Amino acid sequence: MGLFDFFKSKKDTPDTSAQNNLQDNDQHTLKHEMQITDKDLKADEETVDRIVEKMVEEDPFKNFYSDKTKDDMTPLSKQTYKYENITTVNVDFVNKDKGKTLVKVEGITLGFLPEETALTLQSYQDKYLLTAFVYVTGGPYMAYDTSKETVIEDEVPFGLDIFVQFT
């Protein structure tokens, strides 16, 4: 086999690397995403509080108030929640029937998805990889009160935002 024949035979072999890269990229492409809140699940405040307590307990970083102190707050500072950086991926979607999906966070039952949302989740869950994150909303916060020229601390009821992605 001559040098020319060597290059010719290489040319005849199809290059599948581009095709493999396309398939790999396709596996990491976002197919669908949705956001669900504790209110969508009609969760009671006591259940949400228990879940938040468990999330805070298990969070390894405990980055409260985004590491801000009262001294860091200025008239230009935005309201900062104590637990705004607390998250978990410990979310389970348990399909009971078609259109009926139970949501558990940190092993605690939060409630059932609305039927339309459950059907959407179930249809994607059969085909794609599900990733979900839960973020704490509400709770204790600090804010700079420009009228009093001081930092105030207050709180509002806790909430949970669940972000779901399929890839």
CA dihedral sign of residues 32, 37, 39, 44? positive
Do 114 and 122 contact (CB within 8 A), yes or no? no
pLDDT value of residue 22: 47
Instruction: Kindly report the pTM of this predicted structure.
Output: 0.81
CB atoms within 10 A of CB 136: 23
Domain ranges of the chain: 31-166
CA angle 72, 78, 84 (to 5 degrees): 90
**Helix, strand and coil in the chain, % to nearest 5:** 30, 35, 30
- Alpha carbon 151 to chain centroid distance? 30
pLDDT band with cut points at 50, 70 and 90 for residue 15: low
User: Percent of the chain scored above 90 by pLDDT?
Assistant: 83
Backbone angles phi, psi at 104, to 5 degrees: -120, 135
pLDDT digits (tens, 9 = 90+) for 46-73: 999 999 999 999 999 999 999 999 999 9
pLDDT tens, residue by residue, 82-108: 999 999 999 999 999 999 999 999 999
